[in-house]
Amino acid sequence: MLPTVLTDRVGGVGARRKTMALTTSLAGRVRNTSLPKSHALLPLLEAVVNGIQAIDARFGDDVERGRLIVRIKRSPHEQLELVPAGPGRMALKPIVGFSVEDNGVGFTPENMKSFETLDSDHKADMGCRGVGRLLWLKAFDRVTIRSAYDDAVGDIRGRQFRFSIEREVEPGVEEDGLDDVGTTVSLDGFKKPFQQSALKSVDAIARDMFEHCIWYFLRPGSAPAITVTDGETTVSLDDLMNDFVYSAMPTSRIEVKGQQFDMVNLCLKSSTRNHTPRLYWCAANRVVVEENLTSKVPGLYGRLKDETSAQFTYVCYLSSSFLDEHVRADRTAFDIPERVPGATLTEDVSLNDIRDRVLKEVETILAVPLSGAREEGKARVNEFVSKRAPRYRPVLSRLESLGVTVDPSIKDQELELLLHGNLQKLEATVVAEGHAVFAEVGSARPEDYAERLARYVDMVKDINQSDLAAYVSRRRVMLDVLAGLIRSDGQGRYSREDAIHSLLMPMRTDSNEIGIDASNLWIIDERLAFHDYLASDKTLKSMPTTGSESTTEPDLFATRLVDTPVLAAEGEKLPLPSIVVIEIKRPMRNDASEGKDPIQQCLEYVNRVRAGGVKTASGRPIPSTPEPPAFCYVIADLTPTMENRCKYAGLRPTHDGMGYFGFNESYKAYIEVMSFDRLVNAATERNRAFFDKLGLPSS
């Protein structure tokens, strides 16, 4: 147990002082120390920073004389780690520990005393909180330290001890006659949860170490020579500095509610694997939090281009005495609120206050490359809207005015979602503006009322045009899908009729279950987009419009009142309902015999409907009429048997030879038989003007 001395005064005047000793549990402190698995290498990085500070203490401004070596220890016997292995690369064995060697000032008596005191104030002015050694024991079973230092008379003295939860600080044999000053910290027994979450390769570990300690490389005087060794492979952090940084930009100083913050701005080379623009929140000369800046500044997506078109990635290292004072003991976060309620009335600084000011500064210092990125993003949107999503063209200028910018490399699906989300925001704005404008009707109107009304009407017009464009685009897509369904596959097989059926109308449904937009019956006849009742693959008995007991299932059956495209609009306006029956056959099916005649089947459905007690979709009876208008559509390829059925029915061929039509006097029914090619061609021709207007292919 590590003792803590507390002095207190008890009793009244003249009472003597009483000393009490509090005992601190090292195991308890370690247990209560936070170390997220995402920061599994933080204990190692703390040891590296301690080594750099020891070198600073020994060499001062001549820090380049310093050297620090990190050695990765791997298990010689355990199973290989299953990590991706590139060409010529072997899978890596598990990491069991690290050693950190430096030629710094060493464990002097003062440093040793500080090490043995939890929450020591030693090196507090450097941002040290005395918790690094607790993190060691959080992730490793034991720590061994061998150190040499100059004593008071200039002799080199040696010190060796072990550190663990069970035995705490366990002194070893002191050594004399050593050649040089320095320290080796051995971290052994890497605990499984952290071992499995930590980076595995020497390159990745060196890169993480470099980014964590980059402050020391950017400061005046630079950093000592630091290398990371894994067996025979060694990575120099100095080389990473050369490979990593494209150029340094001017350092910025900003102020947030009286607090000063320094921004070290870097352009990283495009060859670096991480192209994400980042903000590093630093404290005590260390990286504490990494934040992704993607899209937080308009145009800031991945890599940017400078005046020479060379690509780079922007990163910023933010530091401040304010951040030093408010970093948590484990150095994984800050005790600063994300937002301060009522921030306009208080001088308390929040993370959001700092972030907003940083982003404004970033937008200023990157003005030129951001402008270029925005233009590329704008071109990407225009290309996508022109070729794939014309519905957004009427509102594109309005979306741009809202500050909508995109990554030029964004995928089509992500871009569609982004545009759709912003269109919804625009629609919500229009609704709110409409309520505000019309609320003033009948009252004393403000001077700008006419201007606001005109602005509102223009916005409504643009959104209506967008809706129409979306509707027309959807038709183009449906026709493309249908054209694909009627083609044969590589084995000469054709789609089943249920696939085409589902495209025209969802199966096993009626118009009480789905909306009008869910069907695509306009492909057959524009008038079929408006109906009173429509059922798909339902028995006649189940249809409220028929009153029939028959279990025969027509493919599609609809009733529509004359002069009333949508009956629900004005209730049940009677009389004279019309009947529409549609039959769909499999493409190129050649079995239209007398017993499977689709024309005769349609006519029999018409008779069954006329014979039953017909009702509206809401169940109201329609007065009996012996001859309600009937329309029968048969969608089938004109195979030999199908053509014979058309001739038997007395139908006439269409002018293009791709269908038949006629009127059956006995059944009082108009009949049209169309091949799938005629179906697609006719629908395309009817919509050609709309497709051309939107720049969509019409064939």
Looking at the predicted structure, is the pLDDT value of residue 221 above 60?
A: yes
pLDDT bracket for residue 496 (50, 70, 90): confident
CB proximity list for 318: less than 8 A, separation 6 or greater: 261, 262, 263, 264, 279, 280, 281, 282, 354, 358
Mean per-residue pLDDT for 353-358?
96
Looking at residue 543, its pLDDT comes to: 63
Checking if the pLDDT of 294 tops 70, the result is yes
499-528 b/e (C-beta count within 10 Å ≥ 16 → b): bbbbbbbbeebbbeeeeeeebbbbbbbeeb
When mean pLDDT is compared across 36-40, 129-133, 374-378, 617-621, the lowest value belongs to 617-621
Stretch (H or E) spanning 372:
helix 367-387
| SS3 label, residue 501 | helix
> 629 with 562: CB under 8 angstroms?
yes
Question: Which residues have C-beta within 8 Å of that of residue 57, sequence separation ≥ 6?
Answer: 104, 105
Instruction: Give the C-alpha separation, 191 to 40, whole Å.
Output: 10
Distances (CA, A) of 447 to 261, 432, 440, 451, 688: 46, 20, 12, 9, 46
Give the closest residue to 214 by CA, choosing from 190, 191, 196, 240. Answer: 240
104-122 per-position pLDDT tens digit: 999 988 888 888 776 655 4
Task: Quote the tokens at residue 418.
Answer: 């982004």
Radius of gyration of the chain (CA): 39
Interhelix angle 42-59/202-212, rounded to 10 degrees, is: 60
What's the mean pLDDT in 11-32?
65
Q: What pLDDT is attached to residue 126? A: 46
Residue 147 pLDDT class (50, 70, 90 cuts)? very high
Reduced to 3 states, what is the DSSP secondary structure of residue 298? coil
How many Å apart are CA 569 and CA 432, to the nearest integer?
Answer: 27
Rounded to whole angstroms, the Cα distance separating 367 from 297 reads: 11
What percentage of the chain reaches a pLDDT higher than 90?
30
Helix (H) or strand (E) holding 240: helix 237-244
Q: What is the mean pLDDT of residues 235-258?
A: 84
Cα–Cα distance, 216 to 53 (Å, whole number): 10
The pTM for the full model equals: 0.56
Band the pLDDT of 203: cuts 50, 70, 90. very high
Residue 497 has pLDDT above 90, yes or no: no
Contact call for residues 351 and 338 (beta carbons, < 8 A): yes
Query: Which pLDDT value is given to residue 9?
Result: 44
In the predicted model, is pLDDT for residue 621 greater than 70? Answer: no
pLDDT digits (tens, 9 = 90+) for 33-65: 888 998 899 999 999 999 999 999 999 888 888
- Predicted confidence (pLDDT) per residue in 55-95, tens digit: 999 998 888 889 999 999 999 876 666 555 455 556 789 99
Longest dimension (CA), the chain: 128
Q: How many residues does the chain have?
A: 699
Residues 189 and 198: their CA atoms lie apart, in Å, by 14
Q: Which of 83-87, 278-282, 626-630 has the highest mean pLDDT?
A: 278-282
Collapsed DSSP state (helix, strand, coil) of residue 268: strand
At 695, give phi and psi (nearest 5°): 75, 20
More confident residue, 665 or 526: 665
Residue 572 is predicted with a pLDDT of: 45
Query: Which residues have a Cβ under 8 Å from the Cβ of 109 and sit 6 or more positions away?
Result: none
Angle at alpha carbon of residue 486, lines to 644 and 641, rounded to 5°: 10
pLDDT of residue 292: 93
**Integer Cα distance of 102 and 185 in angstroms:** 9
Q: Hey, what are 305's tokens? A: 């281009």
